[in-house]
Amino acid sequence: MLAFVKHAFAERPVTAVLGPTNTGKTHLAVERLCGHSSGMIGFPLRLLAREVYDRVVRIKGAHQVALITGEEKIVPSQARWFLCTAESMPLDREFAFVGLDEAQLGADPERGHVFTDRLLRARGREETMILGSEALRPMLQKLVPDAEIIGRPRFSTLSYAGAKKISRLPKRSAIVAFSAEEVYAVAEMLRRLRGGAAVVMGALSPRTRNAQVAMFQAGEVDYLVATDAIGMGLNMDVAHVAFASLTKFDGRRTRRLTVAEMAQIAGRAGRHQRDGTFGGVAEEGPGAFTPEEVMAIEGHHFPKLDFLYWREGEPDFASVDALIDSLERRPDNPVLRAAPQAVDLAVLKRLAEEDWVRARARGVTMVKRLWAACGLPDFRKLGVDPHARFVGRLFGHLSEGLGHVPHHWFAEEIARLDRVDGDVETIAGRIAAARSWAYIAHRSDWLADPAHWAERTRAIEERLSDALHASLTQRFVDKRTTLLMRQIGADPRALPVVVGDEGEVMVEDHPIGRLEGFRFIVAPDARHSDKRLLLAAAERRLTDERAKRAAALLEAPDEAFSLDLRAGARPTLAWHALAVATLAPGPSLARPRVVLDKALDVLDRQLLAKVQAKLDAWLADAIRRRVPGLPALERLARDPEAGPALRATAAALLGGGGFAARHALRESVDALDLPARKRLRQAGVTIGALDLFDPRLLKPQAAAWRRALLAAAEGCAIGEGPPEGATVLPRQAPAAIPVHGFRTFGGQAIRVDLVERLAHAAFEGRAGRKPFAPEPALVTSLGLAPDTLGRLMAQLGFRAAPPLEGQPRWTWKGRAAVPVAPVRARPDNAFAALAGWRDG
């Protein structure tokens, strides 16, 4: 394996730049990148990749620079310079320059095999640069013997400043902790003691991290609380690094940091020529530095690495077993060590135990697809079993049909995350979940419309990130709106109120609340005594903004409006996902009343009347398009020329939402003449043996609209519908089966159009009064129980006859359960044969 690598890249120059932090290694790599016609650098963190991406964009322009991480992909068509996470580096593309940052992470048990693989295989056409710690030198000498190794000294001095309590830490300090709970505890202490702190963690989105760092860099807060993520090259103006503890949980056990890890983090103190200091918050115990550790960090003397973790970078995709075997293959070089089982391999082995997975993962293409699905990171830290179930469901979709994730599943899942309420932990959890869907959205072959969903997940993550930044600031920074009010004065007319693009209402860049649609919501951290002042200030300034939004609503196209059709929700009319009205009982089911949201009461009467007319018109048009049969029935019920029988039948059908039992309308239906029946058919109504119904209302979208209109008419929440595509249901599920177009026979309920199909088959199969057996294939395909079939046949006018060879038979009783007058049905109508039924 290594011999091939050496031969393939022998003539391509490789330079290794080694040294401690603050030696300008990354800066040098970026300069070399920009000096070539094309290039790529792999980084250990998404945040670092984003930071360098922004820097290169300022040099080369956004149209020529790409960013590729697991959850974010910005690849312009003219892109020539790529900034990536190590896992996301596209090794199948050729670049003039290739760089790998923090290559000593090849010794990391969790991700080391990725960095080792890139160190061995990622090469530039003209230049390759490997950046890392001096501890990596012996590994490079053995694995890349042709590499030119350059050592770089630190620009500034790093010295130990001893232990200091958190309350006595100097300004411009970063306090490093190793769990979210510890970060929050330290930040809360700083808020109480020193006015507040910014928070930086690896799990934060780049947008939240940048907002928090900007607050620290601008001097709004003097302290930064972070995890060890700041050790990986994130540049901040930090003078002192304090360790809240010196132990961390590495995914397998709680252990003390290595000296190299301590130095990597401590090295964030100082910048370029400015010296920095480091220390702890405990003078004694496990949280204190030993003299040997201090000496090693100050002198940059660390143990040399004697091995790197490795896993096959080009596995065998011939079969699932071949893939697992190749991933578990041991390296043939003594300085390489087989990587511990990573999450992706653990998930693969768990799914390989499923017969259905093996049945689908046949051939190179499907095995590659399975492995790609297993590569979905466990952003939510669920553990192998829950994550494997999620990946299994993902692969199930990727291995069927067109191989695309169903958009309705994707949409429903991310819709659950599109909420900014909750505390810091809740919003951070939503961001972690959103990262999974962002990862899926950036796989171009996994979705039918990946660009749309990538943009959708990006927008959700940005909203959540903004909310998390606000929540972190509110929780850990003592910068209350009330203080701002007192500084400016008590006259609300003097406050410069500004409304941001996302609806945030600010006074001198300090948020005092949000304008959600037309309703102003006071910031939650405002004290009760100040809310009246804030409301008065906002109300004076927001009149024009509300009028502007109302004008935008009036000009909006139909696509901007929607009706909430979810079960359990009230039928709510929304404009760009903003609830602006609800549906209430109206003159008829087809004409519900549109009740404007009370938040719109702030508009003047003339504007309010225009909004009402706009929403009324949109709803009427939507009902005509979605459920055209209901307006048609209403017109028949109100037509004085239709005749009493037709008006009564249409009114009953309208009241039942397009469904009615025939026996309840027996007299009206029998009185219908041929022109009246024709008008019913033109309205979309099928006159069946047992029911009258509009078959279009059985389709999922029309059925959902029908349930919403029924809920509006009853002034309640939308009821649950039957499972999509269901034809036969148990009697108890759901409770209101008749509402959904199902007819109950004993312990089962059958969709009414299939009842008519069975009736048609029964009457086609009978021969006078002789016993006969219905078509068994039809009965079996629907899964009808014997009791269900018996009750159905009885209602159709048949009685049981002695079975023949175990096959149930039936005899025509001589009269139909519901007499049917002749109907001139279209020849291609599936129910045409029912038109000639007579008493036998």
On whether residue 369 sits in a domain, the answer given is no
Instruction: Judge whether residue 423 has pLDDT over 70.
Output: yes
Instruction: Judge whether residue 830 has pLDDT over 50.
Output: no
pLDDT, tens digit (0-9, with 9 covering 90-100), for 289-334: 999 999 998 888 888 999 999 999 999 999 999 999 999 999 999 9
pLDDT of residue 576: 87
On whether residue 799 sits in a domain, the answer given is yes
pLDDT of residue 729: 85
What's the domain count of the chain? 6
Distances (CA, A) of 684 to 628, 630, 743: 8, 9, 19
pLDDT, tens digit (0-9, with 9 covering 90-100), for 52-99: 999 999 999 999 999 999 888 899 999 999 999 999 999 999 999 999
Distances (CA, A) of 539 to 389, 515, 536, 574, 611: 50, 10, 5, 24, 21
pLDDT of residue 167: 81
Preceding amide of 734 cis, omega within 30: yes
Instruction: Judge whether residue 661 has pLDDT over 60.
Output: yes
* 722 or 766, higher pLDDT: 722
pLDDT of residue 704: 92
User: Does one domain contain both 714 and 739?
Assistant: no
Q: Are 267 and 158 in contact (CB under 8 A)?
A: yes
User: Does one domain contain both 611 and 736?
Assistant: no
Q: How confident is the model at residue 733 (pLDDT cuts 50, 70, 90)?
A: low
On whether residue 370 sits in a domain, the answer given is no
Q: Last residue of some domain: 425, 454, 479?
A: 479
Q: How confident is the model at residue 2 (pLDDT cuts 50, 70, 90)?
A: very low
User: Does one domain contain both 557 and 698?
Assistant: yes
User: Does one domain contain both 557 and 702?
Assistant: yes
Q: Please give the mean pLDDT across all residues of the chain.
A: 84
Cα three-residue angle 723-726-731, rounded to 5 degrees: 85
pLDDT of residue 1: 44
Q: Last residue of some domain: 299, 324, 344?
A: 299
pLDDT of residue 539: 63
Q: β-strands 158-160, 276-280: how paired?
A: parallel
User: Does one domain contain both 495 and 409?
Assistant: no
Instruction: Judge whether residue 486 has pLDDT over 60.
Output: no
On whether residue 392 sits in a domain, the answer given is no
pLDDT of residue 481: 37
Q: Provide the 8-state DSSP code for 271.
A: B
pLDDT of residue 572: 92
pLDDT of residue 478: 59
* 177 or 154, higher pLDDT: 177
pLDDT, average across residues 737-757: 81
On whether residue 388 sits in a domain, the answer given is no
Q: How confident is the model at residue 7 (pLDDT cuts 50, 70, 90)?
A: very low
User: Does one domain contain both 452 and 583?
Assistant: no
Cα–Cα distance between 172 and 236 in angstroms, integer? 10
Q: Are 238 and 276 in contact (CB under 8 A)?
A: yes
Region of poorest pLDDT, from 86-100, 257-271, 342-356, 382-396: 257-271
Distances (CA, A) of 404 to 152, 376, 417, 783: 49, 16, 21, 30
* 261 or 828, higher pLDDT: 261
pLDDT, tens digit (0-9, with 9 covering 90-100), for 633-659: 999 999 988 889 999 999 999 989 999
Region of poorest pLDDT, from 169-173, 356-360, 434-438, 794-798: 794-798
Q: How confident is the model at residue 749 (pLDDT cuts 50, 70, 90)?
A: confident
User: Does one domain contain both 15 and 135?
Assistant: yes
On whether residue 35 sits in a domain, the answer given is yes
Q: Are 560 and 571 in contact (CB under 8 A)?
A: no
Cα–Cα distance between 803 and 813 in angstroms, integer? 17
Classify the C-alpha dihedral 505-511-517-519 as positive or negative. negative
Residues in the chain: 840
User: Does one domain contain both 422 and 520?
Assistant: no
Cα–Cα distance between 239 and 171 in angstroms, integer? 8
Q: How confident is the model at residue 832 (pLDDT cuts 50, 70, 90)?
A: very low
Which structural domain range is residue 788 located in?
727-840
Cα–Cα distance between 380 and 435 in angstroms, integer? 9
Q: Which helix (H) or strand (E) holds 434?
A: helix 424-441
User: Does one domain contain both 497 and 592?
Assistant: no
CATH classification at residue 200: 3.40.50.300
User: Does one domain contain both 565 and 485?
Assistant: no
Sequence-separated (6 or more) residues with CB below 8 Å from residue 522:
512, 513, 531, 534, 535, 538
pLDDT of residue 682: 92
Q: Last residue of some domain: 513, 541, 569?
A: 541
On whether residue 376 sits in a domain, the answer given is no
User: Does one domain contain both 604 and 660?
Assistant: yes
Cα–Cα distance between 341 and 109 in angstroms, integer? 9
User: Does one domain contain both 590 and 689?
Assistant: yes
Q: How confident is the model at residue 23 (pLDDT cuts 50, 70, 90)?
A: confident
Q: How confident is the model at residue 201 (pLDDT cuts 50, 70, 90)?
A: confident
Instruction: Judge whether residue 490 has pLDDT over 70.
Output: no
On whether residue 585 sits in a domain, the answer given is yes
Distances (CA, A) of 702 to 588, 591, 622, 698: 17, 16, 11, 7
